[in-house]
Amino acid sequence: MTGTTDLNFALHQAQLEIFDHQARFKVVAAGRRFGKSYLAAVTLLIEGLKNEAANGADLSLEEVYYIAPTFEQGKKILWPVLKAMGKFANEGGVIESAYENTAVLTLINGRRVSIKGADRPDSLRGVGLSYVVLDEYAFMKPDVWELIVQPALSRAQGGALFIGTPDGKNHFYDLFVKGQKKPKGYEDWHSFQFESLKNPVLAKEEIARAVQRMSVGQARQEYGASFNSGGGLFLREEWWKFKDEPKEGDYYIAVDPAGFSNAGSLKKGQLKIKDETAIAVVKVNTDGWWVADIISGQWDVRETALRIVKAYADYRPIKLGIEKGALGNAIAPYLEDEMKRLNRYFMVYDLTHGGKQKEDRIRWALQGRLEKGRLHLANEELGDLWQRKLIEQANDFPSPLAHDDLLDALAYIDQLASVVYYSEGVIDTYQTYDLVAGF
């Protein structure tokens, strides 16, 4: 790409796809060595050379920022690249001056390109921006964007490039998903995802050597640009199987309530949802578990109670259990109201952690069953794609950065259902020698 000078920026195909896209806000999840810094430098220089915004606003007083997690990181990573690519004016480039201490470039049109650190939020305030690149946004506080940078782009209706390698499912992942799905308010966002090998100059052998020292999860994240936090190391994706409903067996239902919060009391109407409630419906027989459905959502406490009663009416389980504790106590009066209203009564069993950490409890209940083929899911056409959501959580497990509500509810079935599994080829050779003594 050639401008009014002799600069020539050569972008590879994936970089060019990002650069040419017309979205105002771009979210890029890319593997290591993809060429993120090069793309950032090109974008900053081109945006800095613009004198007028798309809306006709004068940009002479607006600045262009590159924001890294820390100023020191930003200066080390991008400052040499910016100077080398932009070149000074006496060399046929676009840089009029460079201030080393503050890492500020003044371009030949008088506009400034500055390197900043998200760890110094006060240094980001007080200026108007026409464009910003936020590098490794996963390692910044989201307030930097929401409260400081985004408002600074308003006058010029400026754009932003979020670029980095995933670090679990945090605020960077949230923006990535919004850029994919484009909900209301995010119509001018777009997300991209590229593995490292989309950089054509990167040798496959180099990546192969690097991943040998990593876990599967780390390799997927660092070089595959995957947001899978845990990498599916314990509940592997290939273990999940589907089949039709077995004829034999009894239903059990386990409920993992969402994290309700209250404003000082448990009065009706004051409970609010923090996470998702999950209701696992499982048919159990001597062959194992068949998961009929996992109903989940962000409901208030009354709707949660109604959905529990409805699940009981639909499946008529042998047992229905709810996680014991403050959350279960909060649901109890509403559940009683719904039972009376619908004239459907049933006993509720307490489900407890049993002294185990959640990670251990989920692994104990699910890992062996999955690996041995004793846990199957209802075919996808019978559900509402809860199966995909469950497997996605399994791929992330265990990670504090990802949800595990569906896994937790499913694991609780282990406390409700006690079934003796058949074992082929086992012969009981025990004989009683003394009928009175019993041995």
* Residue 224: predicted pLDDT: 66
> Of the candidates 194, 222, 250, which is a domain's last residue?
222
Percentages helix, strand, coil for the chain, rounded to the nearest 5?
35, 20, 40
* Longest pairwise C-alpha distance within the chain: 108
> Of the candidates 177, 198, 222, which is a domain's last residue?
222
Side chain identity at 160, as an amino acid letter? A
Mean pLDDT of the 258-283 span? 61
* Residue 230: predicted pLDDT: 53
CATH of residue 96's domain is 3.40.50.300
**Looking at the DSSP assignment, which residues form a beta bridge with residue 135?**
163
Count: domains in the chain: 2
Mean pLDDT of the 182-204 span? 84
* Residue 439: predicted pLDDT: 40
Do 23 and 153 fall into the same domain?
A: yes
CA atoms of 155 and 149, how far apart (whole Å):
12
The torsion angles phi and psi of 92, rounded to 5 degrees, stand at: 90, 15
CA atoms of 318 and 417, how far apart (whole Å):
9
* Residue 290: predicted pLDDT: 97
User: Band of the pLDDT at 3, cuts 50, 70, 90?
Assistant: very low
Q: Would you say 156 and 130 are in contact if contact means Cβ atoms under 8 Å apart?
A: yes
Mean pLDDT of the 99-122 span? 94
Do 213 and 288 fall into the same domain?
A: no
* Residue 2: predicted pLDDT: 39
CA atoms of 186 and 426, how far apart (whole Å):
61
Residue 328 lies in a domain: yes
Do 186 and 323 fall into the same domain?
A: no
* Residue 126: predicted pLDDT: 85
pLDDT exceeds cutoff 80 at 256 = yes
* Residue 259: predicted pLDDT: 61
Percentage, residues of the chain above pLDDT 90: 54
First to last CA, the chain: 90
pLDDT exceeds cutoff 70 at 105 = yes
Do 262 and 330 fall into the same domain?
A: yes
Higher pLDDT, 274 or 117: 117
Stated pTM of the model: 0.57
> Of the candidates 222, 254, 287, which is a domain's last residue?
222
Q: Would you say 237 and 395 are in contact if contact means Cβ atoms under 8 Å apart?
A: yes
Q: Would you say 47 and 130 are in contact if contact means Cβ atoms under 8 Å apart?
A: yes
* Residue 393: predicted pLDDT: 85
pLDDT exceeds cutoff 60 at 349 = yes
Residue 20 lies in a domain: yes
Do 192 and 265 fall into the same domain?
A: no
Do 81 and 205 fall into the same domain?
A: yes
Do 217 and 177 fall into the same domain?
A: yes
DSSP letters for 367-407? HHHHHTT-EEEE-GGGSSSHHHHHHHHHHH-S-TTS--HHH
Q: Is beta strand 189-194 parallel, antiparallel or unpaired with respect to 25-30?
A: parallel
Residue 289 lies in a domain: yes
Do 191 and 269 fall into the same domain?
A: no
Residue 439 lies in a domain: no
CATH of residue 280's domain is 3.30.420.320
Residue 229 lies in a domain: no
Residue 426 lies in a domain: no
Mean pLDDT of the 22-26 span? 96
Least confident of 184-198, 258-272, 360-374: 258-272
User: Band of the pLDDT at 262, cuts 50, 70, 90?
Assistant: very low
Mean pLDDT, rounded, of the chain: 84
261: Cα within 13 Å, side-chain hemisphere: 4
- The H or E element containing residue 190 is strand 189-194
Do 249 and 357 fall into the same domain?
A: yes
Residue 200 lies in a domain: yes
Q: Would you say 323 and 277 are in contact if contact means Cβ atoms under 8 Å apart?
A: no
Do 308 and 211 fall into the same domain?
A: no
Domain that holds residue 127: 13-222
Q: Would you say 390 and 232 are in contact if contact means Cβ atoms under 8 Å apart?
A: no
* Residue 94: predicted pLDDT: 93
Q: Is beta strand 95-99 parallel, antiparallel or unpaired with respect to 159-164?
A: unpaired
Residue 425 lies in a domain: no
User: Band of the pLDDT at 436, cuts 50, 70, 90?
Assistant: very low
Do 181 and 258 fall into the same domain?
A: no
Do 180 and 318 fall into the same domain?
A: no
